[in-house]
Structure 1
Amino acid sequence: MKAETFLPDDYRPAEDEPFMNDRQLEYFRRKLLTWKQELQGQSAETIDNLQDSGRNVPDIADRASEETDRALELRTRDRQRKLVSKIDAALRRIDSNEFGYCEMSGEPISLRRLDARPIATMTLEAQEKHERREKVHRDD
């Protein structure tokens, strides 16, 4: 196991340093882990809310409203679960030194894109091309 990388609190990856050096990888690892913890905390909250709302509501309008809220909570929870799985995949890419490189072209993904969306697996150009191709196939 390698030594822990020192990272100042105000550190931000910069274009003028080697791409995906130890400091950048540590920065993104921490960012992803923090995001994952936040999502897991929200998931626990959702579960508590769903258990609390399991009571029998006699008024039909109130019951319908509660069921709508419950469906929305479950959809949100499912989205969060999928996001946690993408975060885990990004953490695995960090461990295998594949993080930050486009899975289509192998080119580096811009630091700005990774900072905004650390689970990105493609450069912006490759992502746009992928989405255009997907849209064409969906319309068939």
Structure 2
Amino acid sequence: MSDVAVMHADDAAGAEPYRPHADEPFMNERQLAYFRAKLIAWRDEILKEANQTLATLQVESLREPDVNDRASSETDWGIELRTRDRQRKLISKIESALRRVDAGEYGYCEVTGEPISLQRLEARPIATMTLEAQERHERYEKVTREE
């Protein structure tokens, strides 16, 4: 994921790019704009990679004369396509996060309603739960799978 900086008119030329801080109101306009830009840049990067994969698939042929070379190419493309499928699902989560930004719900835990830490949102901008709620959820899933 690329690092995105949100600049505003009040930012001086050459100043450090804006980064959300814990000492400012949570999910104020600047923070929302910052995370919106971060999510959009991430989505655009994934779409660009997907388009590059599609273009390469259309140009390159999997008709290798050697059976071993063909098998190797097919394996490589299989891995690439599985990666793109995971990224397609990630785009759906990014779109959902953008809808939460628009609705004013971004940054708040869907379970507890508490703010999700800025550090967690920096690391995982599509997070929908606080770290504690996520850990409880994962423990519950593990217990129910084992039963």
TM-score, length basis structure 1:
0.92
Moved more, 55-64 or 32-41: 55-64
Q: CA deviation at 1:49?
A: 2.1
**Alignment length, in residue pairs?**
136
Whether 1:28 aligns to 2:35 is: yes
For structure 1, which runs of at least 5 residues remain unmatched after alignment?
none
Secondary structure, counterpart of 2:80 in structure 1: helix
Q: Write the distance in 2 (CA, Å) between the matches of 1:79 and 1:25.
A: 26
Q: What is the root-mean-square deviation in Å for CA atoms of aligned residues?
A: 1.5
Residue-by-residue CA offset, 1:18-75 (whole Å, 9 max, x unaligned): 1000010000000001111111110011112222333411211001101101110110
Whether 1:124 aligns to 2:123 is: no
The answer on whether the counterparts of 1:43 and 1:77 sit within 8 Å (CA) in structure 2 is yes
Whether 1:83 aligns to 2:85 is: no
* Counterpart in the other structure of 1:95: 102
Secondary structure, counterpart of 2:142 in structure 1: helix
Letter in 2 for 1:6: H
The answer on whether the counterparts of 1:25 and 1:94 sit within 8 Å (CA) in structure 2 is yes
Letter in 2 for 1:11: Y
TM-score, length basis structure 2:
0.88
Secondary structure, counterpart of 1:29 in structure 2: helix
Match of 2:45 among 31, 38, 51: 38
* Counterpart in the other structure of 1:16: 23
Q: Write the distance in 2 (CA, Å) between the matches of 1:55 and 1:61.
A: 12
The answer on whether the counterparts of 2:62 and 2:74 sit within 8 Å (CA) in structure 1 is no
The answer on whether the counterparts of 2:62 and 2:73 sit within 8 Å (CA) in structure 1 is no
* Counterpart in the other structure of 2:8: 6
* Counterpart in the other structure of 2:122: 115
Secondary structure, counterpart of 2:75 in structure 1: helix
The answer on whether the counterparts of 2:62 and 2:70 sit within 8 Å (CA) in structure 1 is no
